[in-house]
Structure 1
Amino acid sequence: MDFRSLQLFNHLATSLHFGITAEAMYVSPSTLSRVIQRLEDELGCTLFKRDNRKVALTHSGHKLLSFSKQALKDWQQLKVDLKEDNDALQGELSVFCSVTASQSHLPAMLRQFRQQHPGVDIRLITGDPALAIEKVKGKQCDLSIAIYTPDMPTDLHFTALDNVPLVLIAPREWRLTQLSQLDWTKHQVIMPETGPTRRTAYHWFAEHGIRPNVYAYVGGNEAIVSMVALECGVGFVPKVVLDHSSMANAVTQIPVEDIEPYSLGLCCLQDKQNEPLINAFMQLNVQARG
């Protein structure tokens, strides 16, 4: 017997309808039936009378209902008391970031946060960094590790964590080590489909009067490293992506001194930045950076 089983039993004892309880408690009817059967087996008695038309509590069922109501009430009160005693944050915080950021920046952040707030569960979502702002705007996560852009929506709050330089990479087999060795009419370029790397790279090309010969547009910076390693072309990627790539040994970094780095940071909705869990995560990392 556990508290979840008692919660399901309590609801069914009130609704007297397996379908209604299953839907309200987010379980399947078959799961609910198994829980009730397990309770009956453990207690050695029948809790519900069931036929094709109705469900009714037995005398034993009424006794268990009285017990379970008090037990669940005591359990909820105990959780409240413990929370007040510990004065600790509780709940779940969802964070979105790229696979690279989950390896480069997130571990230290989470380690410190978990030490100070062990009662908070972290739900990590990874994906294309170009989606970081969209995920926050769509309320699919509480926070994201995102890249600051000049056109960032005004309803978002951004706290900088790090400056990330972009580097130009070429296949190692091409033996290119200097920017002057590149022939932009001959050497093709791998570009990201969306995101700040694409915008910054195109800005650099425009400033230098270069019309890039684009071989392919790909999703994610990690894919650029892979395609460059396969000798499909050259491309700009964040240095942190290259540093954590298993394909780093298959490419060569070509020095480019005048390409703008971008600011990596934590992003959330403006109207949620003062919520306890989000604010705690934000403030912790601001203090660590300072």
Structure 2
Amino acid sequence: MEYKDLEVFVLLAEHQNLGVVSQLIHCSSSTLSRRLKRMEEGVGANLFDREGTRLRLTEEGELFRQHSEQALELWRQFKLSVQRQASELQGQLSIYCSVTASYSFLSELLSRFRAQHPLVDIRLITGDAAESIPHVQSGEADVVIAARPDQLPANLTFKTITTAPLLFIAPVGLQTVPELLEDDIAWDKVPLVLSETGLARTRVDRWFKKKRLKQNIYAQVSGHEAIVSMVSLGCGVGVVPDLVLKNSPLMNKVRIMEVLPELEPFAVGLCAQNKRLNEPLIAALWQTVMWE
């Protein structure tokens, strides 16, 4: 049985739900169920009692959970000892972030890191900012650059690099959204272009709920960059972090709206699993942030 199987089993034991874990490791529930069955065949015992996608550890499963955690910890300690014996840090460090984060401040951060640790191979994964936390929870990425969620999972540590205001933006030509020309904007009629998921969407939803208004959603998209594009075309009003707007080639085609109350800004930074903070590569990157 591979160490990756043990990591998946520990996630199953923690969440006890096939659906939740399948999302964390980006596979279907049926694929994960087959993987679990192969593990049970290898062990020679049922590790979970199943009820739909819900799971409950059997006695054998609890013993295997303890074994898995011990084996993974020994494996991590072994890798740490090997790395510490090397005269220079080397190995691969995987980092997940949005495209905007990759060129807004990751470039400077990695420039300093690479100057200090030239033998470390950086594997950069870019994607939707809303997927950052799941990537580090599942272990698919060693470190992620993310906005700090309202409730940070207990097994993660966050190190703030900067703060980013969250802005309402509208097309430069307000005539494409005539609702904005009124002295008293009827927000329940304004077409909105919003993120499908993520912290920005949560805070926009909360803003409308406090005002007791329904949202008139024109489009829901994946990624803040697409919001700027659609707003610049006159599709409606969007909400994006100012980091995204400042680095957008369409910045001059949208305007920032003064809206009260202002949305709570993002705290943007590095996030990693608590148990991995002492690993040399992650610790070195963490130290680079502390020098800012």
TM-score normalised per structure 2: 0.66
Q: Do structure 1's residue 237 and structure 2's residue 240 form an aligned pair?
A: yes
Q: Which amino acid aligns with 2:164?
A: V
Identity of aligned residues (%): 43
Cross-structure match for 1:152: 152
Partner of 1:118: 118
Please say if residues 179 and 254 of structure 1, whose CA atoms lie closer than 8 Å, have aligned partners that are also in contact: no
For residue 282 of structure 2, what is the amino acid of its counterpart? I
Structure 2 equivalent of residue 143 of structure 1: 143
1:26 maps to what in 2?
none
Residues 1:99 and 2:99 aligned together? yes
Aligned residue number for residue 279 of structure 1: 283
CA distance in 2, matches of 1:264, 1:188: 28
Deviation for aligned residue 1:205: 1.6
Deviations 1:27-50 (A, max 9, x none): xxxxxxxxxxxxxxxxxxxxxxxx
Deviations 1:217-271 (A, max 9, x none): 1111111111111211101110110111122222111123521101111011111
What is the deviation of 1:178? 8.8
- Unpaired segments of 5 or more residues in structure 2? 1-81
**1:208 corresponds to which letter in structure 2?**
K
CA distance in 2, matches of 1:241, 1:101: 8
Residues 116, 180 of structure 1: alpha-carbon distance in 2 compared, 3 angstrom cutoff: farther
What is the number of equivalent residue pairs in this alignment? 205
Is 1:179–1:256's contact at 8 Å kept on the other side of the alignment? no
Q: 8 Å contact 1:165–1:260 — kept in the other structure?
A: yes
What one-letter code is carried by the residue in structure 1 that aligns with 2:203? T
Q: How far apart are 1:180 and its partner, in Å?
A: 5.1
Q: TM-score, normalised by structure 1?
A: 0.67
Match of 1:222 in 2: 225
TM-superposed CA distance for 1:179, in Å, is 9.5
Greater C-alpha Rg = 1
The secondary structure found in structure 2 opposite 1:153 is: coil
Q: Letter of the 1:103 partner, please give it.
A: Y
Gaps of at least 5 residues in structure 1 are 1-79
Q: Secondary structure at the match of 1:158?
A: strand
3-state SS of 1:282 partner: helix
State yes or no: 1:213 paired with 2:216. Answer: yes
Judged with a 3 Å threshold, the aligned counterparts in structure 2 of structure 1 residues 119 and 190 are, in CA distance, closer, same or farther, namely same
Indicate yes or no: 2:233 matched with 1:197: no
Q: Which residue of 1 aligns with 2:109?
A: 109
3-state DSSP of counterpart to 2:162: strand
